[in-house]
């Protein structure tokens, strides 16, 4: 029997200070630095650079040989250390620790790591250094600006402070391996066939200097082609464009002896490329003089440029081995050009990224929600996602060891994703174009995976996915609501319509609004018979289609509406067991992989999608809440110590987690659907966010806390929630935690936005975004005064109506409600609604940066 | 400047209780189970089976899919758990944890692990189980008996006790994957091309039952050919010869549901081999009924039989790809035959192994010494070592990821090894035969690595190794002293003589007893000019050659002796810097990789070899002690936090370790010899043991403690000290810690043995071995009475003289000294010597089991 556990105490859940990492919890921290479609290198919790996934493929655990920051400082005595924290046990390895990590050199005592994606900060601690050292690391991220969120760089700013009473001389030095021609295995001094002809050159230009790393070995269409750079805008420099080329460890020994002696480097560069099978390391050091109390910021950029990706994941000859060129290569010629762009725009990129950071994190939302949403949006900028030459965005589900997994734009997994849709809606729309213009066949069947390049479509041979296919209709509606792009909608609708109506051929053959056919789905198996997981997505798709058809004057609207109404009623009558919604099926026809009487965490998946898209309830509200309660009661486990799971293992031992399914009333099939005993963060977030939408704050936040506690830096990396692959897209469902808690709803076609905070109503502050802007919503409610502000930080917001969740206002208060912008009162009509008040502006309001909209009741 | 650290307090160093492992320190524990030349599977600290290195190659980290012990027990309620401790963080993996580990199933709370090689014990702890469960695991190990120390099995004895008041029914079940045809990568459910045709059959015979695992795919000469078995002598059984063959995880789900329901299994076996690319899992369960207080021992054997190894490490066509057949395949037909042998001889093998264990561990030696010596002797029985069809023993230096490293019988690495020589001297002698009968060329140059098979010798193209080559002469002397085998000596001497005299061609061209030529050595570089590292080995070789030549009436003896005397004098005069011995060389001729003025930890390597071989001092005794003091003072670091090491990394951070070299008086070359800044356990042990020989107890034991503290189960595996590979042979220098502390010396040709304990003289007890026996030496000294006993546990010991380190005896006491055996007094003459007393028996004494020799002074 399942035990009932209480959710965590509310005050703990609402705690607003983000966690930090130190000691053991530094170990698994790997904070990805990279842009959209550029790949990433991760900043490890110790300040180390790891997981070099900049070569158009995932590659967890890689370290580039001898690539590390180092510091030399002379106060009373001279100290030289690798600018990383000491590693922790275990220290295993058949030949000891990998010596190209230079882990045999002295390092710093400890650090405090803070990560608020896209920024990471490390406060280093070391008793012997005469300086305080802090690192700020990021890659520019500006919602709605895919270009400046897609620069192939890692920016590392080392901040030094002299806390002592004497002058301190210091050098901060970054060494980087020229990895052009990199293969999957890289171990020095073993020659690697991809190397040879690697060339490091010191370059000094106005505003930046550094080492340009290229190779003479590759033509521009070769997969190995590319370049790297390490650069800085600091002007007092020391460098060696390459280390000596010696036997054994002559190279590192010579470098270290040179550096540690006086913090200055002898340049060994002679303009010759490396011999066959070998490459070179370059080191760039910034010389700093600090008076007592003095501070300095030394900015480094590591830039890369590897234009040519290749389809290694598809087997069909139309696709396999085809070159896929990265979009970023159309913007920058090489890595040095990237570095130059980064420094030319340095302050702007940093400022705008900080603006986004502040809008997101200077919030009264619970820390655990900000943590969940921000950490997972990073997936947009990992190897899970590609942006190709034509600007189109594609994505795997996640990343396997050295290849994406599984390809590509998987409709049912990306059903859960909501961060890209809300932060880079123009890119999300390219996915809809692929869905409907490439993958929808004449009969309406959709391929649920995209093959690249998309020029060569091959008919879909698998079962079509009922959840993925219906989800695409809902997502089309969402994109339209966010963007108001009618042309886009008109172009795609005929295809989407076919895709929707394909349901009547395949899944809802009797057109009663309930699917009973062979429903392939995100569990990689087929459900047979009616169930609300498919059912609610279908209902939401019908509701969305009704709205779209109505807007486009498509007469099918009525049919969709009537089917929706029939289906909703029938679903509820047929599948409610008094406690939650079940699946009806015939065990004779489906001996395996169903759930039947089980309590499925995803049973209201489509309902959650409806909430996010602003389509309201598709099943009776009280039943929805009842079912969510049951899901919490039965499926959430405070500890999994007694849980028996023969499937994949994403949570275990004393960890908390939400199981995909349980059978509290018995009736578990001998072989229920695969994954049923697993815990998936993507589902946990969709269920939790749904609970928040329905006002079940404690339950929802409890689930979120469970997820994030499992990703605590010691157990797992906080910036990577894997499922079928690292950086799994489904986890970006976490973005809707913010939408739900702020009661955000937006419709561009209607020029309307609403907020109705679910917590901290007296003092609420929160990020929001639309298809055209992003900013901050805030409200303060006191006995005397109510005040709401809509700030735009980027873009603009056109409004004709505004909804606020201010309930119980007196007639007088409603009448006295004022709206101000730029010091002027705006004319409006205020109406009391079920949810609060609705403000209708006499003339459209355009909210912009510095032109916030303020709503006031009272003084 | 090097800081001076005190050694650890003596009382801490002499602590006699062996450490145990729990909590975090369980994680890296991997206790190898396997015989000489059979490969191993390791028992993990959690009770898990890992590192399946039974397929003729190393493979750290492998787990066989779904291979785990499980327990079902019903007291008041029924519980089913995997009989392993819960894993510890991190829980990372791009697809979660490997599901074929079944880590999603409940496990036990904790455990206490004790390892006294060859035995490991785990006391499991779990609040929910109604039973106490303990595991005893071992592979039979009986010194001097290579056959019964070379059985390809892992024996696992689960002991159950019912501590409650009610009856308990239980099943202990072992599941094993039929891995015949195993490749290097094995992940379910992905098909593996080596599989298919795998056949599991349940077999019940008199005294054993189990599952025989074979494959129909391979002929007996194929590399994939082989068999496995899981068997027990328990008679009440439940089993399934194979799990169902299903999709997804139907197999494990069906198994676990079946097992956990009632502890009984449905047999799904139908005699059909597995389909292509797939294999099967079999499960064998022992049914146990326990009354309150009742106990049971359930013995399991996992046996394997993979006869065909292949030379994958040499590149020359004479060797590469050649099949090398394992010796064990000449003794047993298949794995089932192995299992049958194990159970037919179960009690004897367990008893004799226990006898060895007790002789070794029931000792008054410091725990840290027993730990160091016993843990590293395990290397004899890992993939570092091979025993081929013809019975000849060969060995790598250690093990890389999937191949031995480096091949083979490396003379200079195996210079340090002393465990095989003292425990399996007949096998060690086969190495000398290879050294001199295969690898010694007509001009006396020795190949310092052996190519297999040895039938096709190819002339040696590298530099010959001065240390390895001279060491072989010393080892020949040692083998002769241990065995007294004159025929062996006569056969090898002419070759050894050539090898020795090759020094005059290559290294000591001016025949002054000091080498100054190009001396390739164990640091993989060449020393130029005189140094005591080569010098002491050369001197010891000359001294050994003098003894051998004298015994064989070879007139060269005088020349060797005179050269030794000249060389010893010159070495000392030339290289003593007042504190330690240095190297003299010309930096013009040798710009790199020398040590010059450095304090080298190995500077007395040959002196240590001389002590072990019983050849006494080759340099002035007080200088030797002085140099050892300097080595401790300069090279031993209590912490490496400030140490700068650009080389390989075997010790770091706050760990203690003995550096290979330091330059306390300056003069460090810019590029000193490679490895100079590293820490090698093999050198630490040789230096430590040498210190013990010289009476520097605290310093020696401090070094040993430093090594073992680094291998604490959390940092590294206590049963694996890697250097250039796991299970590195050099670390078997640790065996000489026992020899040194007991003051053991033995000469079979002279029928003489001596003991002179260096610690705990009042109450000393210690293992010893000769070429023909092993047993226990003990002595108790009180004011009134002195008593020494020589017990033989195995074999026999023929003695004409016996030395005891009893100093300061009065004339009366010497006169009153009695020797007794079997209740009878033996006639003898007792002499006072510099080291104590020497007993000369009137007639040779033959000491055997149950016929101990007792020496008494006093009552």
pLDDT tens, residue by residue, B662-694:
999 999 999 999 999 999 999 999 999 999 999
C-alpha–C-alpha distance, residues A332 and A329, integer Å = 5
Which residue among B28, B105, B644 places its CB closest to the CB of A646?
B105
Chain B residues lying within 8 Å of A27, measured CB to CB: 90
Q: Give B649's strand partners.
A: A97
Neighbours of A157 (CB within 10 A): 18
More confident residue, B702 or B835: B702
A413, A729 Cβ separation under 8 angstroms: yes
Taking residues A331-351, report their average pLDDT. Answer: 98
State whether B96 and A398 contact (CB < 8 Å): no
H/E stretch holding A700: helix A697-710
Percentage of chain B modeled with pLDDT above 90: 96
State whether residue A417 sits within 8 Å of chain B by CB.
no
Residue A28 forms contact with B (CB below 8 Å): yes
Label residue B842 exposed, middle or buried (CB < 10 Å: 0-12, 13-18, 19+). exposed
> 47-66 in B: which are within 8 Å (CB) of A?
58, 60
What distance in Å separates the CA atoms of residue B373 and residue B803, rounded to the nearest whole number? 24
Kindly state the percentage of chain A with pLDDT values over 70.
99
pLDDT band at A859 (very low <50, low <70, confident <90, very high): confident
pLDDT at position A446, please? 98
Q: Say whether pLDDT at B49 is over 60.
A: yes
Q: What is the pLDDT of residues B342-394, one digit of tens each?
A: 999 999 999 999 999 999 999 999 999 999 999 999 999 999 999 999 999 99
Which of B249, B674, B726 shows the shortest C-beta gap to A249? B674
Tens-place pLDDT, residues A154-166: 999 999 999 999 9
CB contact under 8 A, A722 and B93: yes
A108-111 contacts at long range (C-beta below 8 A, 24 or more positions apart): A108/A47, A108/A81, A108/A83, A108/A84, A108/A133, A109/A85, A110/A22, A110/A23, A110/A85, A110/A86, A111/A22, A111/A26, A111/A45, A111/A46, A111/A47, A111/A85
Q: Does residue B2 surpass a pLDDT of 50?
A: no
pLDDT classification of B859: cutoffs 50, 70, 90? confident
Closest to B657 (Cα-Cα) out of B683, B675, B624: B683
The pLDDT assigned to B191 comes to: 73
What the block records as the tokens of A306 is 């590897």
Pairing of β B119-125 and β B398-399: unpaired
Q: Is B639 on the interface with A (CB under 8 A)?
A: no
- Touching check for A253 and chain B: CB below 8 Å? yes
Beta-carbon contacts of B190 under 8 Å, excluding residues fewer than 6 positions away, are none
C-alpha span between A515 and A509 (Å, rounded): 8
Instruction: Count chain A–chain B contacts defined by CB atoms under 8 A.
Output: 184
How far apart are alpha carbons A387 and A428 in whole angstroms? 11
Collapsing DSSP to helix, strand or coil, A472 comes out as helix
Mutate to test the interface with A, among B247, B254, B258, B644 (most CBs of A within 10 A): B644
Residue B537 has pLDDT above 90, yes or no: yes
* Band (B262; pLDDT cuts 50, 70, 90): very high
A639 close contact with B: CB closer than 8 A: no
* 3-state SS assignment for residue A474: helix
Q: Which residues of B253-282 are buried (b: 16+ CB within 10 A; e: fewer)?
A: bbbbebbbeebebeebbeeebbeeebbbbb
Distance from B798 to chain A by nearest Cα, in Å? 43
Which one is predicted more confidently, B6 or A186?
Answer: B6
Which of A486, A424, A477, A476 lies closest to A774 in space, CA to CA?
A: A424
Structure tokens at B412: 């200079």
Is residue B132's pLDDT more than 60?
yes
Q: For residue A776, give the nearest of A794, A751, A800, A799 by alpha carbon.
A: A794
CB contact (8 A) between residue B249 and residue A105: no
Three-state secondary structure of A493-521? HHHHHHHHHCHHHHCCCCCCCCCCCCEEC
Q: Would you say residue A191 has pLDDT above 80? A: no
Rounded to 10 degrees, the C-alpha dihedral B341/B343/B346/B347 comes to: -130
Q: pLDDT class for B3, splitting at 50, 70, 90? A: very low
Evaluate the omega torsion of the peptide bond into residue B189 and state whether it is cis, within 30 degrees of 0.
yes
Mean pLDDT over the full length of chain B: 96
- Cα separation, A325 vs A38, whole angstroms: 11
How far apart are the CA of A291 and the nearest CA of chain B, in angstroms? Answer: 27
Is the predicted pLDDT of residue A192 greater than 90, yes or no?
A: no
Share of chain B above pLDDT 70, in %: 99
Given the DSSP bridges, would you call strands B107-108 and B78-85 parallel, antiparallel or unpaired?
parallel
**B61: burial class by Cβ within 10 Å (0-12, 13-18, 19+)?**
exposed
Q: Scanning every residue of chain A, which has its alpha carbon at the shortest distance from the alpha carbon of B717? A: A92
Q: Tell me the pLDDT of chain A averaged across its residues.
A: 96
Output the CA–CA distances (angstroms, integers) from residue A477 to A497, A566, A769, B364, in the order listed: 12, 21, 17, 81
Q: Which residues does residue B829 pair with via DSSP β-bridges, in sequence order?
A: B840
Cα separation of B490 and B667, whole Å? 47
Q: Which of A86, A97, A648 sits opposite B95 (nearest CB)?
A: A648
Residue A722: pLDDT over 80: yes
Closest CA to A223 of A339, A63, A57, A381: A57
Q: Up-side HSE of residue A81: CA atoms within 13 Å toward CB?
A: 27
What pLDDT, on the 0 to 100 scale, is given for residue A649?
98
pLDDT digits (tens, 9 = 90+) for A70-88: 999 999 999 999 999 999 9
Nearest to A94 among B256, B401, B592 (CB): B401
**Alpha helices, DSSP H, located in A552-593:** 557-575
pLDDT of residue A255: 98
Contact between chains at B405 and A94 (C-beta distance less than 8 A): yes
pLDDT higher at A795 or A189:
A795
Instruction: Name every residue whose Cβ is closer than 8 Å to that of residue A72 and which is 6 or more positions away in sequence.
Output: A78, A79, A80, A170, A171, A173, A259, A260, A262, A263, A285
Facing A99 at nearest CB: one of B98, B401, B647: B647
Predicted confidence at residue A186, as pLDDT, reads 55
Neighbours of A390 (CB within 10 A): 11
CB pair distance less than 8 Å for A649 and B250: no
Task: Please enumerate in sequence order all residues whose Cβ is within 8 A of that of A559, keeping only pairs 6 or more positions apart, or say none.
Answer: none
Q: Which two tokens stand for residue A689?
A: 């966010």
**To 10 degrees, what angle do helices B681-693 and B605-613 make?**
60
**From the CA atom positions of chain A, what is the Rg in Å?**
28
Mutant choice from B77, B109, B261, B652 vs A, greatest count of A C-beta within 10 A: B652
Query: Under 8 Å CB-to-CB from B815, ≥6 apart: which residues?
Result: B830
Q: Tell me the C-alpha distance between B202 and A213, whole Å.
A: 63
Residues of A in contact with B248 (CB under 8 A): 593, 674
Residue A190: pLDDT above 70? no
pTM score of the predicted model: 0.97
CA distance A100 to chain B (A): 9
> Mean pLDDT throughout B195-213?
97
On the question of pLDDT at B1 being above 50, the answer is no
Distance from B69 to chain A by nearest Cα, in Å? 15
Greatest distance between any 2 Cα atoms in chain B: 86
The mean pLDDT of A212-218, rounded to a whole number, is 97
Least Cα separation, residue B693 to chain A (angstroms): 30
Q: Does B722 touch chain A (CB under 8 A)?
A: yes
> Residue A858: what pLDDT?
87
> What pLDDT shows up at residue A438?
98
Q: Is B215 helix (H, G, I), strand (E, B) or coil?
A: strand
**Cα separation, A576 vs A574, whole angstroms:** 6
pLDDT number for residue B184:
59
Q: Is the peptide bond before B408 cis (omega within 30 degrees of 0)?
A: yes
How far apart are the C-alpha atoms of A501 and B221, rounded to whole Å?
62
- Tell me the backbone φ, ψ of residue B355, rounded to 5 degrees: -60, -45
Residue A160 in tokens: 């030094």
pLDDT, tens digit (0-9, with 9 covering 90-100), for B222-236: 999 999 999 999 999
Residue A697's alpha-carbon distances to A369, A659, B126, in angstroms, are 12, 19, 37
Q: Which helix (H) or strand (E) is A492 found in, with range?
A: helix A486-501
ipTM of the complex: 0.96
Element (H, E) at A240: strand A237-240
Q: Beta strand B752-755 with B797-804: parallel, antiparallel or unpaired?
A: parallel
| Separation of alpha carbons A619 and A690, rounded Å | 13
Residues of A in contact with B97 (CB under 8 A): 649, 652
Q: What pLDDT was estimated at residue B182?
A: 86
User: Is B85 strand, coil or helix?
Assistant: strand
DSSP for B489-554 reads HHHHHHHHHHHHHTHHHHT-TT-SS---SEEE-TTSSEEES--HHHHHHHHHHHHHHHHHHHHTT-
- Residue to substitute from A21, A96, A382, A714, interface B, most B β-carbons within 10 A: A96
CA pair distance A385, A379, nearest whole angstrom: 8
Q: Is B104 on the interface with A (CB under 8 A)?
A: yes
Task: Please tell me the distance from the alpha carbon of residue A748 to that of residue A752, in angstroms, as a whole number.
Answer: 7
Partners of B775 in the β-ladder? B768, B792
Put simply, the answer to whether B400 touches A95 (Cβ < 8 Å) is yes
Average pLDDT over residues A655-659: 98
Residues in chain A with CB shorter than 8 Å from the CB of B185 are none
Across A660-665, average pLDDT = 98
Rounded-to-integer distance, Cα B209 and Cα B292, Å: 28
Q: Answer whether residue B66 shows pLDDT above 50.
A: yes
């Amino acid at each position: 029997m399942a035990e009932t556990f209480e959710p965590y105490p509310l005050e703990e859940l609402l705690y607003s200070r983000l966690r930090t990492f130190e000691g053991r919890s530094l170990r698994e921290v790997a904070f990805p630095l990279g842009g959209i479609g550029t790949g990433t290198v991760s900043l490890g919790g110790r300040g180390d650079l790891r997981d070099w996934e900049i070569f158009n493929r995932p590659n967890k655990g890689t370290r580039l040989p001898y690539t590390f920051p180092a510091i030399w400082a002379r106060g009373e005595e001279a100290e030289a250390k690798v600018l990383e924290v000491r590693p922790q046990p275990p220290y295993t390895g058949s030949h000891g620790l990998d010596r190209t990590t230079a882990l045999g050199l002295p390092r710093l005592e400890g650090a405090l790591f803070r990560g608020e994606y896209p920024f990471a900060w490390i406060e280093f601690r070391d008793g012997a250094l005469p300086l305080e050292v802090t690192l700020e690391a990021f890659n520019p991220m500006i919602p709605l600006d895919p270009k400046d969120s897609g620069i192939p760089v890692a920016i590392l700013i080392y901040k030094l402070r002299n806390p002592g009473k004497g002058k301190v001389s210091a050098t901060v030095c970054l060494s980087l391996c020229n990895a052009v021609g990199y293969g999957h295995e890289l171990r020095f001094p073993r020659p690697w066939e991809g190397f040879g002809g690697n060339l490091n050159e010191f370059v000094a230009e106005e505003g930046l200097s550094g080492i340009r790393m290229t190779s003479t070995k590759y033509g521009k269409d070769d997969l190995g082609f590319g370049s790297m750079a390490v650069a800085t805008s600091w002007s007092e420099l020391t460098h060696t464009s390459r280390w000596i080329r010696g036997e054994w460890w002559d190279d590192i020994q010579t470098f270290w002896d040179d550096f540690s002696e006086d913090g200055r480097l002898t340049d060994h560069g002679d303009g010759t490329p490396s011999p066959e099978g070998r490459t070179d390391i370059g080191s760039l050091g910034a010389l700093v003089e600090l008076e007592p109390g003095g501070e300095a910021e030394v900015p480094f950029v590591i830039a890369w440029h590897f234009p040519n990706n290749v389809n290694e994941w598809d087997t069909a000859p139309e696709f396999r081995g085809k070159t896929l060129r990265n979009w970023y290569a159309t913007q920058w010629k090489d890595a040095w050009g990237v570095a130059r762009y980064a420094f030319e725009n340095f302050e702007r990129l940093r400022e705008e990224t900080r603006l986004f950071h502040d809008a997101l994190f200077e919030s009264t939302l619970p820390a655990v929600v900000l943590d969940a949403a921000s950490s997972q949006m990073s997936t947009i900028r990992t190897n899970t996602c590609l942006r190709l030459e034509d600007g189109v965005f594609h994505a795997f589900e996640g990343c396997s060891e050295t290849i994406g997994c599984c390809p590509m734009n998987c409709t049912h997994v990306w059903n859960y994703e909501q961060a890209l849709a809300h932060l880079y809606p123009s890119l999300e729309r390219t996915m809809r174009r692929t869905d409907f213009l490439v993958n929808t066949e004449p009969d309406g069947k959709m391929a649920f995976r995209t093959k690249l390049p998309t020029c060569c479509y091959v008919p879909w041979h698998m079962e079509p996915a009922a959840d993925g296919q219906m989800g695409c209709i809902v997502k089309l509606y969402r994109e339209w609501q966010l963007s108001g792009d009618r042309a886009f909608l008109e172009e795609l609708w005929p295809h989407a319509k076919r895709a929707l109506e394909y349901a009547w051929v395949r899944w809802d053959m009797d057109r009663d609004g309930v699917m009973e056919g062979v429903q392939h789905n995100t569990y990689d198996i087929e459900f047979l018979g009616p169930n609300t997981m498919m059912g609610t997505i279908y209902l939401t798709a019908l509701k969305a289609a009704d709205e779209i058809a109505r807007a486009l004057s498509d007469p099918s609207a009525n049919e969709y509406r009537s089917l929706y109404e029939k289906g909703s009623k029938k679903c509820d009558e047929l599948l409610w067991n008094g406690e939650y919604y079940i699946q009806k099926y015939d065990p004779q026809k489906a001996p395996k992989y169903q759930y039947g009487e089980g309590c499925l965490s995803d049973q209201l998946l489509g309902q959650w999608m409806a909430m996010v898209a602003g389509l309201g309830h598709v099943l009776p509200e009280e039943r929805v809440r009842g079912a969510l309660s049951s899901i919490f009661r039965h499926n959430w486990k405070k500890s999994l110590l007694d849980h028996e799971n023969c499937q994949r293992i994403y949570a275990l031992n004393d960890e908390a987690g939400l199981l995909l399914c349980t059978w509290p009333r018995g009736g578990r099939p001998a072989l229920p659907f695969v994954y049923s005993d697993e815990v998936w963060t993507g589902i946990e977030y969709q269920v939790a966010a749904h609970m928040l939408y329905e006002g079940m704050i404690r339950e929802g936040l409890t689930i979120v806390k469970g997820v994030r506690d499992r990703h605590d830096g010691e157990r797992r990396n906080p910036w990577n929630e894997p499922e079928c692959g690292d950086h799994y897209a489904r986890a970006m469902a976490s973005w809707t935690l913010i939408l739900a808690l702020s009661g955000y709803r937006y419709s561009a076609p209607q020029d309307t936005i609403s907020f109705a905070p679910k917590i901290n109503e007296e003092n609420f502050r929160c990020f929001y975004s639309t298809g055209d802007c992003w900013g901050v919503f805030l409200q303060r409610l006191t006995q005397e005064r109510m005040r709401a502000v809509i700030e735009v930080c980027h873009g603009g917001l056109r409004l004709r109506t505004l909804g606020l969740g201010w309930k119980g206002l007196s007639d007088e208060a409603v009448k006295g409600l004022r709206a101000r912008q730029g010091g002027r009162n705006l004319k409006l009509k205020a109406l009391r609604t079920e949810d609060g008040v609705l403000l209708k502006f006499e003339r459209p309001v355009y909210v912009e940066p510095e032109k916030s909209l303020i709503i006031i009741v009272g003084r």
